[in-house]
């Protein structure tokens, strides 16, 4: 393990090792190799470019991951920027952006999620949800105010660019490349390459000619 300390930034950089006694004085953690941190982490910023594993809870103002980052317990951050592979048990964040793969074993709560990539999650609550699919994503339950789901078009991929869901609930939904058992919303746009079993709507809906919806039910206002 090597470390660099700056009085101004109060930061430390780890290149390898099992870390069990991180001092409370550090406000910035930089990871540049294979590192395991065992204790609860409370810092302003985490920057991970290697292979990091957090065995306990993580609290940070900013979490930036460009490598492989695993949080075994809960993650609480104002801003998460992920361009690598980020896994967590539970998450709570104000903003989540990036172009990598995000895995949430249980639930994620966020004000805004705007990602290009792949998401695997049991449950996501997001006020604003925007996902450009670069591969096959799976979300069992998506609860949102506004959602836009579409296929990323700039790059070719061997992976199927599709979102598989059991349940989607939102006020204003714009869906494409989505397979779902149930979609429920006030205003719903079912775009290309969707396959929906049951659509519940309150105000209005549109369905693309390149989409399939088995049954449509008008909900009470």
| pTM for this predicted structure | 0.92
Q: What is the pLDDT of residue 8?
A: 57
For residues 124 and 127, give the distance between their C-alpha atoms in angstroms, rounded to a whole number: 10
Q: What is the pLDDT of residue 5?
A: 45
**82-103: b (≥16 Cβ within 10 Å) or e:** bbbbbbbbbbbbebbbbebbbb
Q: What is the mean pLDDT of the chain?
A: 94
What DSSP string describes 47-73? EESSEEEESS-EEEEEEEESSEEEEEE
Measuring CA to CA, which residue among 112, 173, 110, 166 is closest to residue 138?
Answer: 166
**108-144: b (≥16 Cβ within 10 Å) or e:** bbbebbbbbbbbbbbbbbbbbbbbbbbebbbbebbbb
Residue 189, both tokens: 């746009």
Residue 36, both tokens: 């395991």
For residues 30 and 63, give the distance between their C-alpha atoms in angstroms, rounded to a whole number: 10
Q: What is the pLDDT of residue 2?
A: 46
Eight-class DSSP state of 8? T
Mean pLDDT by 10 residues, the chain (221 residues): 53 96 94 97 97 98 98 98 98 97 98 98 98 97 98 71 97 98 98 98 97 94 62
């Amino acid at each position: 393990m090597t470390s660099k300390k700056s009085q101004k930034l109060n930061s430390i950089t780890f290149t390898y090792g099992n870390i069990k006694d991180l001092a409370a004085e550090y406000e910035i953690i930089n990871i540049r190799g294979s590192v395991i941190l065992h204790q609860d982490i409370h810092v302003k910023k985490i920057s991970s470019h290697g292979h990091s594993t957090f065995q306990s809870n993580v609290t940070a103002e900013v979490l930036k991951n460009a490598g492989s980052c695993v949080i075994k317990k809960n993650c609480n951050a104002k801003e998460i920027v992920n361009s690598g592979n980020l896994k967590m048990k539970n998450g709570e964040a104000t903003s989540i952006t990036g172009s990598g793969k995000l895995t949430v074993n249980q639930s994620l709560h966020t004000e805004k999620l705007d990602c290009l990539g792949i998401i695997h999650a049991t449950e996501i609550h997001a006020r604003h949800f925007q996902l450009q699919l670069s591969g096959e994503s799976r979300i069992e339950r998506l609860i949102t105010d506004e959602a836009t789901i579409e296929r990323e078009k700039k790059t070719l991929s061997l992976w199927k660019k599709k979102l598989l869901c059991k349940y989607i609930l939102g006020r204003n939904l714009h869906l494409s490349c989505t397979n779902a058992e149930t979609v429920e919303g006030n205003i719903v746009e079912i775009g290309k390459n969707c396959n929906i079993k049951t659509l519940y709507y309150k105000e209005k809906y549109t369905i693309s000619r390149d989409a399939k919806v088995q049954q449509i039910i008008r909900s009470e206002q």
